[in-house]
Amino acid sequence: MTETDAGQMVDTGQIAEKIADSDLQSGPDGTKEMGRSRRRKEDAKLITGQTTWTDNITLPGLLHFALLRSPMAHAKITRIDVAAARELPGVIAAFTGAELAGELGSLPNAWTVTPDMVSPAHPPLAVDEVRYVGDAVAVVVTRDRYSAADALEAIEVEYEPLPPVTDLEAALADGSPLVHSEKGTNRCYDWPFAAGDYEAVKAKADVVLKRRFIQQRLIPTAMEPRAVVVAPIAAADEYTIYSATQIPHILRVMLALTTGIPEHKLRVIAPDVGGGFGSKLNVYAEEVIALILARKLGRPVKWTESRSEGFQTTTHGRDQIQDIEIAATSAGQILGLKVDLLADMGAYLQLLTAGVPILGAFMFPAIYKMEAYSFHCTGVFTTKTPTDAYRGAGRPEATYAIERIIDELAHELGREPMELRKQNWIKHEEFPYDTICGLTYDSGNYEAATEKAMGLFDYDGLRREQAERRERKDPIQLGLGISTFTEMCGIAPSRVLGSLSYGAGGWEAASIRMLPTGKVEVVTGTSPHGQGHVTSWSQIAADALGVPFEDVEVIHGDTDSSPKGMDTYGSRSLVVGGVAVHHAAGKVIEKARRVAAHLLEAAESDVEFKAGTFSVKGSPEAKTTIQDVALATFAAHNLPDGMEPTLDSDYVFDPENFSFPHGTHLCAMEVDTETGQSKIRKYVCVDDVGAVVNPLIVEGQIHGGLAQGIAQALYEDCVYDAEGNLLTGTMVDYLIPSAADLPTFITDRTETRATSNPLGVKGVGEAGCIASTPAVINAIVDALRPSGINDIRMPATPERIWRALQESATAGSATGGAQ
Amino acid sequence: MTRVSMKVDGVTYEDDVEARRLLVHHLRDTLGRVGTPIGCDTSNCGACTVLLDGESVKSCSVLAVQADQAQITTIQGLAEDKTWHPVQKAFQEHHGLQCGYCTPGMVLAAVDLLNNNPDPTEDEVRHGLEGNLCRCTGYVNIVRAVLAAAAEMRGAGAGQAKSTVGVGA
pLDDT digits (tens, 9 = 90+) for A187-223: 999 999 999 999 999 999 999 999 999 999 999 999 9
Residues of A in contact with B97 (CB under 8 A): 43, 46-47
ipTM of the complex: 0.95
Mean pLDDT on B8-32? 97
Model pLDDT for residues A310-334, shown as the tens digit of each residue: 999 999 999 999 999 999 999 999 9
Residues of B in contact with A13 (CB under 8 A): 165-168
Give buried/exposed letters for A292-326 (b at 16+ CB in 10 A, else e).
bbbbbbebbbbbbbbbbbbbbbbbbbbbbbbebbb
Q: Do A744 and B122 touch (CB under 8 A)?
A: yes
Mean pLDDT on B133-158? 92
Q: How confident is the model at residue B156 (pLDDT cuts 50, 70, 90)?
A: low
Nearest CB among A47, A222, A704 relative to B103 is that of A47
| Inter-CA distances, A753 with A692, A756, A758, B62, Å | 9, 9, 9, 53
Q: List the single best residue of A223, A313, A391 to mutate versus B (max B Cβ within 10 A).
A: A223
At A814 the pLDDT is 55
Q: Do A704 and B130 touch (CB under 8 A)?
A: no
At A367 the pLDDT is 98
Residues of B in contact with A47 (CB under 8 A): 75, 84, 88, 91-92, 97, 100, 103, 107
Q: Do B135 and A223 touch (CB under 8 A)?
A: yes
At B80 the pLDDT is 85
Q: Do A274 and B167 touch (CB under 8 A)?
A: no
Q: Do B122 and A146 touch (CB under 8 A)?
A: no
Nearest CB among B93, B107, B122 relative to A39 is that of B93
Q: Do A700 and B134 touch (CB under 8 A)?
A: no
Q: List the single best residue of A43, A59, A277 to mutate versus B (max B Cβ within 10 A).
A: A43
Residues of B in contact with A272 (CB under 8 A): 100
At B165 the pLDDT is 45
Model pLDDT for residues A744-790, shown as the tens digit of each residue: 999 999 999 999 999 999 999 999 999 999 999 999 999 999 999 99
Q: How confident is the model at residue A811 (pLDDT cuts 50, 70, 90)?
A: confident
Nearest CB among B42, B88, B99 relative to A48 is that of B88
Is the per-residue pLDDT at A10 higher than 50? Answer: no
Q: B104 in helix, strand or coil? A: helix
Q: How far is A23 from chain B (nearest CA, A)?
A: 11
Q: How far is A441 from chain B (nearest CA, A)?
A: 29
Model pLDDT for residues A83-112, shown as the tens digit of each residue: 999 999 999 999 999 999 999 999 999 999
Model pLDDT for residues A703-716, shown as the tens digit of each residue: 999 999 999 999 99
Q: Do B135 and A222 touch (CB under 8 A)?
A: yes
Euclidean distance between CA atoms A248 and A509, whole angstroms = 14
At A8 the pLDDT is 36
Pairing of strands A433-434, A440-441: antiparallel
End-to-end CA distance of chain B: 55
Residues of A in contact with B136 (CB under 8 A): 223, 275, 530, 700, 704
Share of chain A above pLDDT 90, in %: 94
Q: How far is B7 from chain A (nearest CA, A)?
A: 18
- Worst-scoring range by mean pLDDT, A350-359, A406-415, A452-461, A810-819? A810-819
Nearest CB among A16, A48, A708 relative to B167 is that of A16
Q: List the single best residue of A14, A21, A46 to mutate versus B (max B Cβ within 10 A).
A: A46
Contact of A399 with A774, CB cutoff 8 Å: yes
Is the per-residue pLDDT at A116 higher than 70? Answer: yes
Q: Is the peptide bond before A432 cis (omega within 30 degrees of 0)?
A: yes
Euclidean distance between CA atoms A687 and A485, whole angstroms = 9
The amino acid sitting at A647 is: L
Euclidean distance between CA atoms A658 and A754, whole angstroms = 10
Model pLDDT for residues B36-78, shown as the tens digit of each residue: 999 999 999 999 999 999 999 999 999 999 999 999 999 999 9
Q: List the single best residue of B34, B95, B126, B165 to mutate versus A (max A Cβ within 10 A).
A: B95
At A389 the pLDDT is 98
β-partners of residue A316 are A387
Q: Do A223 and B133 touch (CB under 8 A)?
A: yes
Strand ranges across the sheet with A619-625: A607-610, A613-616, A619-625
> Nearest residue of B to residue A276 by CA position?
B99
Share of chain B above pLDDT 70, in %: 92
Model pLDDT for residues A53-83, shown as the tens digit of each residue: 999 999 999 999 999 999 999 999 999 999 9
CA dihedral A381, A383, A384, A388 (to 10 degrees): 20
Model pLDDT for residues A139-195, shown as the tens digit of each residue: 999 999 999 999 999 999 999 999 999 999 999 999 999 999 999 999 999 999 999
Q: Do B168 and A2 touch (CB under 8 A)?
A: yes
Q: Do B36 and A49 touch (CB under 8 A)?
A: yes
Q: Do A56 and B34 touch (CB under 8 A)?
A: yes
What stretch of H or E contains B77?
none
At A813 the pLDDT is 66
Model pLDDT for residues A236-292, shown as the tens digit of each residue: 999 999 999 999 999 999 999 999 999 999 999 999 999 999 999 999 999 999 999
Residues of B in contact with A665 (CB under 8 A): none
At A6 the pLDDT is 38
At A396 the pLDDT is 98
What stretch of H or E contains A349?
none
Q: How confident is the model at residue A817 (pLDDT cuts 50, 70, 90)?
A: very low
Residues of A in contact with B139 (CB under 8 A): 703, 707, 738-739, 742
Q: Do A48 and B37 touch (CB under 8 A)?
A: no
Is the per-residue pLDDT at A796 higher than 50? Answer: yes
Mean pLDDT estimate for chain A: 95
Is the per-residue pLDDT at A11 higher than 80? Answer: no
Whole-model pTM? 0.95
Q: Do B25 and A145 touch (CB under 8 A)?
A: yes
Residues of A in contact with B31 (CB under 8 A): none
Of A303, A346, A48, A317, nearest to A152 by C-alpha is A303
Q: Do B39 and A40 touch (CB under 8 A)?
A: no
Mean pLDDT on A727-753? 97
Nearest CB among B39, B104, B138 relative to A703 is that of B138
> Nearest residue of A to residue B122 by CA position?
A744
Model pLDDT for residues A479-498, shown as the tens digit of each residue: 999 999 999 999 889 999 99
> Nearest residue of B to residue A731 by CA position?
B44
Q: How confident is the model at residue A17 (pLDDT cuts 50, 70, 90)?
A: very low
Q: How far is A39 from chain B (nearest CA, A)?
A: 6
